[in-house]
Amino acid sequence: MQNAQLEKHANNIRKDIIIETHSAQSGHPGGSLGAADLITSLYFEEMDINKENLGTTDRDRFVLSKGHASPALYGVFAEKGFIDPELLPTFRHLGSPLQGHPSMKCLKGIDMSTGSLGQGISTAVGMALANKLDNSSHRVYALLGDGECQEGEVWEATMSAAHYKLDNLCIIVDNNDLQIDGHVHDVMNVAPLDEKFKAFGCYVINIDGHDFDQIRDAFAQARKNKGKPTAIIAKTIKGKGVSFMEDQVNWHGVAPNTEQKDAALKELEAK
């Protein structure tokens, strides 16, 4: 797919994120906007996932370990035609399948109910191990936050993935250096993430998480890598695409008001 097409999809997903969080008057717009390019690349170019195999395990699987970025996941589901876009304004509403964190019970195509940080990657390791035991060629992708890497469970899971030589597992770290309480390096420094994942037995790739060429090349390298899991450390900007939200910790878990929503959509429409 041409980069211009991917950029258009990602921009539409960012508009969906604004609509969802504004409608709910809650949610996490910052990290969702920052992860939009990575999720777009996964669903539109990398993974073998479509309407026909959505409800099966006979496909690549994706675990949004940073489950609070669910608006981005629902945005890509709408953009792919997996859900009706008219559902998006029901985000976080009572009875809606679009819960604040992804729920397998509510929506077909969600591969893991996530929210408790660290549990998503742990489940992804189990999926990848099951695929190995079943001689399945399908791959498993897990998207983590850098703040999430403060959880010890992340490293236990990574150690297990390396021990079992899960080269069908691709760990992606959304590395924006911001979490709810401030900069990750101030709250609990996890740097250097690349060296840590390497020490835990991963093949490590550092990229710009907003550069579709670099994202594409990293996934290609991950597929060629044999004998160990891959960890892609993707440098991103929280709030990417909306100027007044970019690199601002205050937009971690605060929804835009109507004036801010209109300004954000106007900016994204101009792109």
- What's the DSSP call for residue 43? I
Residues forming a β-bridge with 172? 143, 232
Confidence (pLDDT) at 190: 98
**Domains plus CATH for the chain?**
3-270 (3.40.50.970)
- What's the DSSP call for residue 85? G
Confidence (pLDDT) at 115: 94
Q: 139: closest CA among 168, 162, 161? A: 168
Confidence (pLDDT) at 263: 98
Segment 64-118, tens digit of pLDDT? 999 999 999 999 999 999 999 999 999 999 999 999 999 999 999 999 999 999 9
Please give the model's pTM, rounded to 2 decimal places. Answer: 0.97
Confidence (pLDDT) at 164: 98
What is the rounded average pLDDT for all residues in the chain? Answer: 98
Q: 229: closest CA among 187, 251, 200, 254? A: 200
